[in-house]
Every structure is written in structure tokens, then in C-alpha cells.
Amino acid sequence: MSAKPVTNSPRSRSGARTVIQLLASVVILGLLARDLDPDAIHGFLAQGSWALLGLALLIKSMGLLLHETRLWLALPHPRPPLRSVISMGLSAGVLNLVLPARAGDIAIIAFLKREAQVPPAIGAMAVGITSVLEAVLFGAYLLLAIVLGAHHMTGLLGEDVILWLSVFLLVTVAGGIGVIILGRKVDITEEHTGILGFVSRTIGETAHVMTNARYLGQQTLTAALQVVLVVVAFTLAMPAAGVHIVYPELAASLVLGASSLLAVFLPPVFAAGPAAAAALVLPVFGVPGDQAAAAALAYAGAYWLVAHIPACIMGLPAISMRR
């Protein structure tokens, strides 16, 4: 009798990735907590504010609702009901907290298809525009902040930080122009099948809406407001955790940006990404080196609450309806 070939199922590979991510998170948190006096963390938290934490949670909740409203606005007419799209988006937001690489964004495309009969290409277009515009405006905010005087940030990011942020924005704009040029060659009224058909129609749909000045202006303004709300929420989490520094909004923005990048590899639910980012960022903004680990863990705790509590309170009931 011949032995059956050993195969790696998608479930086993997913389980292995989860174990690796958990171990990596434990290692990061362990390194930060090594030789750390618990009283040092308590010293920061004792200077914190529950009122500021509550305000941060409220503002973050507003940012989440605005994000899902932007997703609804990104869909072409006739749109599904706003309440339904917000519910789908909040469900996907919960998945993004526990899955790496923002896998929840894929789930919302499936939700839109199953519950609102939105073609996957249109769903992908809406999710893409919602996410990319937010990233672009966040990058533009960081670039503007550095240019206007936060030059000490170059001590952390390097002297070429302005160059790299400019390259990111230019590449994104060039990519948008390229999508418009390619998309104009796609007939979105024709039926497209297969993976190539899906990609082709997604590009075509994206190009179609990006040439609409009113649509693009509406998305840009609401994305800018969302970036402001998110930055304010995580900035308030800084003094809420007892971490009082100069330029808290810039420090919070850097931690937020780094945590978003690390979320590709580390699920946000483990909080290792924000803790590691804060340990690197906070000393540049005045936290003494011997207190950096304690401050980073204190802020990571507040960061975790702001990132998770609003999403779970609104998202868990929404996702339970889809079981």
C-alpha cells in the first residue's frame, strides 16, 4: 500500500501563520518588558486621564462611522441602504483587528456581493478608493507637518524622510493617473469573467469614478475629516496614558503609521506593533531612554483600547448577524 502524499491544507497554513505571529508578538512584548519595573508603568498611568480616554473612544467611534459612510459614498448609484453598508463595514473592521494584512477588506467585498448584490469589481473599487485616499491624505499630513517645522523627526526617520514621503505621494498620484489611462480602455458595460476580467473591470470602474470631480472631491473631503478624527483620537490616548510629550500629535501619527505597516505581519489584537513603534518614537519626543519601555507599554495599552473598544462595541453585534 502506497503512503498518501502529505499536503498542507489552507487551514493548516493559516494556523501556522497565526502561531508564528503570536510568537513574534510575545517576543516583542517580552523584550520591552524585560527588566521593567511594573511601578514605572503605574507611574505613567497614574498621571493619565479617564476623561481623555473616554473622549478618545468617542472620537474614534465617529471616525469609524465616517469611514463606513465613505465606503457607502464610494459605491455608484443606486447604492444599498446606508445602514446596511455601515453594518457590513463594521463587521469587516472586527476582522481587521484579528487578521493580518487587512483581510477584513476582502470580507466586505463578499458581504456587498452576498447581501446587496454589488458586483465584486465594484466592491473592490469602493474599498480601494476608500483605503487609498485615506493613506494618501495621512501621508500628506505627515509630509506637511515635517516641512512646517517638526525637523526633529528626521532623527528617527532619517534625513531622507521628506524625500521618501514625497516619493510615496508621487507614486500614488502616478498610479492613479495610470489607472485612469488604462481604465478608459475598459468597457464596464461588458461582462468580464475570470481573474483577469475581475481586475479589468475593477480598473475600469475605478477610472470611471475618478474622472468625476464631484465624486473625487466628496471622497477627498470626507477622507481628510476621517484622518483628522483618527489622529486626534490617538493623540488624546497619549496624555490619557500619562505620557506627556512635545508634539504628541506627531508622535501618535508616527506610531499609528508604523502600526498600520506592522499590521501586515502582526494582527493588531496582540498590540505588539504599537508597543514596538512607541518604544522607537517616544524617546525622540522627549521621553528619557530609561523610561521609554514603560511609556511605550502604557501608551500601547491606551492605543489598544482606542483601536479595539469602539470597533468591538459596534462591530461584534454587526458580525453576529452574519453568522
> Among positive and negative, which fits the CA dihedral 87, 89, 93, 96?
positive
d(CA 234, CA 142): 15
Contacts made by residues 127-132, CB under 8 angstroms, sequence distance 24+: 127/71, 127/74, 128/202, 128/206, 129/74, 129/206, 129/209, 129/210, 129/219, 130/67, 130/70, 130/71, 130/74, 130/219, 130/223, 131/102, 131/105, 132/172
Q: Where are the alpha helices (DSSP H) in 184-212?
A: 194-210
Q: Using the predicted structure, report yes or no on whether residue 248 has a pLDDT greater than 70.
A: yes
- pLDDT the model gives residue 13: 60
Q: Using the predicted structure, report yes or no on whether residue 134 has a pLDDT greater than 70.
A: yes
d(CA 244, CA 226): 25
Between 256 and 25, the higher pLDDT residue:
256
Between 42 and 22, the higher pLDDT residue:
42
Q: Using the predicted structure, report yes or no on whether residue 233 has a pLDDT greater than 90.
A: yes
Q: Worst-scoring range by mean pLDDT, 154-158, 161-165, 235-239, 246-250? A: 154-158
Q: Using the predicted structure, report yes or no on whether residue 198 has a pLDDT greater than 70.
A: yes
C-alpha cell belonging to residue 172: 500614488
Q: Using the predicted structure, report yes or no on whether residue 238 has a pLDDT greater than 80.
A: yes
Element (H, E) at 105: helix 104-116
Q: Using the predicted structure, report yes or no on whether residue 150 has a pLDDT greater than 70.
A: no
Q: Using the predicted structure, report yes or no on whether residue 1 has a pLDDT greater than 50.
A: no
Q: Using the predicted structure, report yes or no on whether residue 212 has a pLDDT greater than 60.
A: yes
pTM of full prediction above 0.85: no
Output the average pLDDT for the chain: 82
Between 51 and 200, the higher pLDDT residue:
51
Residue whose C-alpha cell reads 489622529 in the numeric block: 231
C-alpha cell belonging to residue 155: 532623527
> Among positive and negative, which fits the CA dihedral 120, 106, 141, 72?
positive
Q: How many Cβ atoms sit within 10 Å of the Cβ of residue 230?
A: 24
Q: Using the predicted structure, report yes or no on whether residue 196 has a pLDDT greater than 80.
A: no
d(CA 192, CA 239): 52
Answer whether 318's CB lies under 8 Å from 87's CB. yes
* Mean pLDDT along residues 44-69: 95
d(CA 273, CA 263): 7
Share of the chain above pLDDT 90, in %: 32
- 103 DSSP 8-state letter: T
